Amino acid sequence: MTIYGAIGEFSPKLENGTCISNYWMSFSIANGIEDPNRKHAILNATGGPDTYKLAYDLLAPVKPKDSMYADIIATIFSHYTPINDDRVKLSLLTQATDKGKLDNMAAYMLS
């Protein structure tokens, strides 16, 4: 069986969540991998120790081996995908500090 492409370790310094999820999806399609269990095993075996540790931490208390392939990909994707909604950013900023919303708005607008 011919294998098209290769999956290396995920590097957050070089890739973001969109890149890696699209890359893994393309690899699966190119190689006719449809079985979710096989996709899951390939992801865990080839993603590298840092990716496995990240998935392990983000999915806790569920372990990556007990998670669905789609859940692992979605979790890693959302972890590395920046939030672009200004209302969400402001809400997170407000929750992260003791300052009032007006102070946070001013700080956000100046940043």
> Can you say how many angstroms the Cα of residue 91 is from the centroid of all Cα atoms in its chain?
22
Contacts 24+ apart (CB under 8 A), 37-44: 37/69, 39/69, 40/67, 40/68, 40/69, 40/72, 42/7, 43/7, 43/69, 43/72, 43/73
pLDDT for the residue numbered 61:
93
pTM > 0.95? no
How distant, in Å, are the alpha carbons of 3, 20, 38, 55, 76 from that of 64? 25, 17, 14, 6, 11
Q: Is the pLDDT of residue 105 over 60?
A: no
All structural domains of the chain with their residue ranges: 17-80, 84-111
Residues 19-63: tens digit of each pLDDT: 777 777 888 888 888 888 888 888 878 777 888 888 899 999 999
> Can you say how many angstroms the Cα of residue 98 is from the centroid of all Cα atoms in its chain?
29
Q: How is residue 66 annotated by DSSP? A: G
